[in-house]
Chain A
C-alpha cells in the first residue's frame, strides 16, 4: 500500500497542474501515471483532430482545456460527459474530448488518476476498449495507491461534486 506522496516520490504518479491562471485555486486533484505522462509529453503535440466535429481544436488544446476544467472545478457534463466504463462496478471511468479519451479511476471523490490516454480513433478499434479497461485495473493494482482502493458511482457527478 502506497500513499499519494510515496507514489509521487517514486515517479509512479504525476500531478497535473491544469495550467491554472494566476490566483485560480485547484478544486480537484488530477494525476497521471508515468505511461500516461509519456503520451502527454511525447505524442500529444503531433496528434491531429479527425475533424468529425467540424472546427475542432487540436488534441493538445482539447486536453489542456479538459484538464483545466477538471482541476479548476468547472462543470464537466456537456457535451461529452465522463462515464463509467462497462462492465460497471470496477470504477474504471473515462473523460472525453472530441478527439481524446482519458481512462482511469477515482481513488477518492474529486481525485482522478489517468492511466491511459488514447485518441478516439484508437479506441474505435475492435477490442481496444476492453484492453484499456483491463489495463486501468492492472495499473491501479500495481501502483497500489491507498491499497488500490477506488470509487464507484451510478453517476459520475457524485464523484466530482464540489
Chain B
C-alpha cells in the first residue's frame, strides 16, 4: 500500500472543510473591507462594544466565528452576509468555494451570476 487515506467519513470531512473555508473566506472579506474603507479595529470594537483585542482575535482566525459574530461584524462594517449553496459537481471541482459564503455591501444589488442547476439565495460578491 503506497497511498494513505484518513479514516474519516466524507460527512465529517465535509463539515470540517466547511468550517475552515467559511472562516477563511469571511475573515479575508472582512479584512479586505477594512483595508478598502480604512477602518480600524478600534472603530469596529467601539461599535461592537468589545475590546480591540477581541476584534483582533476574530480577524486573525483565533476565535470561533459564530453566526451571531459574523452578523455583528458585518453590521459594524456596513456589510450584508450572504450565502449561496451550490451543488458539488464537476463544475465546482477544485473551485475555491463549492459552498460560497461572502459579504456584500449593504443595499447593493448585483446581477445574479447564475449557473444552471445552482440555487442562489442571493448574490455573492467578494471572493478574495
Q: B-contacting residues of A (Cβ < 8 Å)?
A: 8-9, 11, 13-17, 19, 21, 23-25, 27, 32, 37, 40-41, 52-57, 60-65, 67-69, 72-75, 78-80
Contacts and interface: CB of A to CB of B under 8 A. Distances in A.
A24 B64 contact: no
A64 B18 CA distance: 12
Range, interface on chain B: 20 to 34
Given A53-B62, A68-B17, A78-B61, A19 B6 contact: yes
Nearest to B90: A23
B93 A64 contact: no
Contacts of B3: 14-17
Contacts of A64: 6, 8, 12-13, 16
Given A15-B2, A17-B5, A64-B6, A79 B16 contact: no
B6 A60 contact: yes
Interface stretch (B20-28, B33-41, B107-115): B20-28
Contact of B13 (A68, A74, A75): A68
B96 A75 contact: yes
Contacts of A9: 2
B119 interface: no
B13 A19 contact: yes
A80 B20 CA distance: 11
